[in-house]
Amino acid sequence: MADDNRTFNPKEHAGPPEEYESFKMPEGLIIDQTMLDKFLPIARELNLTQVQAQKLVDLYSEQVKLWSAELMKEREFWGKDFNDFEEKIVETNESQKNV
């Protein structure tokens, strides 16, 4: 039998709250409301507690920070060409909204 040093925390096993409290985000990151609106029904469906849902938000935040760091490296490497490419992507996305 494996040695399990974890202690039982009733807050982690109580099911979803009636309303999830605001999730804590790392400094410099703000929560994307569109993603939050998609996440909350899934968290409720999976019966996640506030603590469990926060753990997933933390994991996602770590990934966003990694993506941001990679994007900054790409931006530095490509310089003005990256900005021109980024502008074209934004223009394309905007034109697609009007279709």
Please report, for residues 2, 58, 85, 92, 93, the alpha-carbon distance to residue 89 in angstroms, rounded to integers and kept in the order given: 52, 29, 6, 5, 6
CA distance 73 to 64: 14
Instruction: Give the tens place of pLDDT for each residue, 11-57.
Output: 556 789 999 999 999 888 888 899 999 999 999 999 999 999 999 99
Reported residue count of the chain is 99
User: What pLDDT score does 96 carry?
Assistant: 65
Answer yes or no: is pLDDT of 6 > 90: no
For residues 3 and 47, which has the higher predicted lDDT (pLDDT)? Answer: 47
User: What pLDDT score does 37 carry?
Assistant: 95
Of all residues in the chain, the percent with pLDDT exceeding 90 is 37
pTM reported for the whole predicted model: 0.59
User: What pLDDT score does 67 carry?
Assistant: 80
User: What pLDDT score does 99 carry?
Assistant: 53
